[in-house]
Amino acid sequence: MAVEWCICEKRHFSELQHEAEARGWTTVEQLIEAGLCGTNCQFCVPYVRRMLRTGETSFEVGEGDAAPPDSPGDASSAAPSVSPDPTSDLDPPQT
């Protein structure tokens, strides 16, 4: 399954790319400020960022902002790891 849309704003990445080129924008923050993508869940943000960098408009899930496989040291940006938050406000389970 390919990632090709900002689902929240119902805009295909090719449309976002066209808008960015037409306005001379080079950052995803400019598209977000204009309300064209990334205004809600922000799932699309790393993909749009990569689109602006590479010109690609279709990605595999998790490909987003990841560096190409031949760029060592940047692979951790592909999918942030999730670990339990030791400072969580949640109470421990009652026994």
- In the complex, the residues that contact ligand FES under the rule CB under 6 A are 6-9, 37-44
Q: How far apart are CA 5 and CA 82, in angstroms?
A: 24
Rounded to a whole number of angstroms, the minimum distance from the CB of residue 48 to ligand FES is 8
Contact indicator for 3, 60 with CB cutoff of 8 Å: yes
Integer Rg of the chain from CA? 16
- Return the number of the residue (32 or 66) whose C-beta is nearest ligand FES: 32
Rounded to a whole number of angstroms, the minimum distance from the CB of residue 32 to ligand FES is 8
- Return the number of the residue (46 or 94) whose C-beta is nearest ligand FES: 46
DSSP letter at 2 equals: E
Rounded to a whole number of angstroms, the minimum distance from the CB of residue 75 to ligand FES is 23
Three-state DSSP string of 39-60: CCCCCCHHHHHHHHHHCCCCEE
Rounded to a whole number of angstroms, the minimum distance from the CB of residue 83 to ligand FES is 24
- Return the number of the residue (62 or 75) whose C-beta is nearest ligand FES: 62
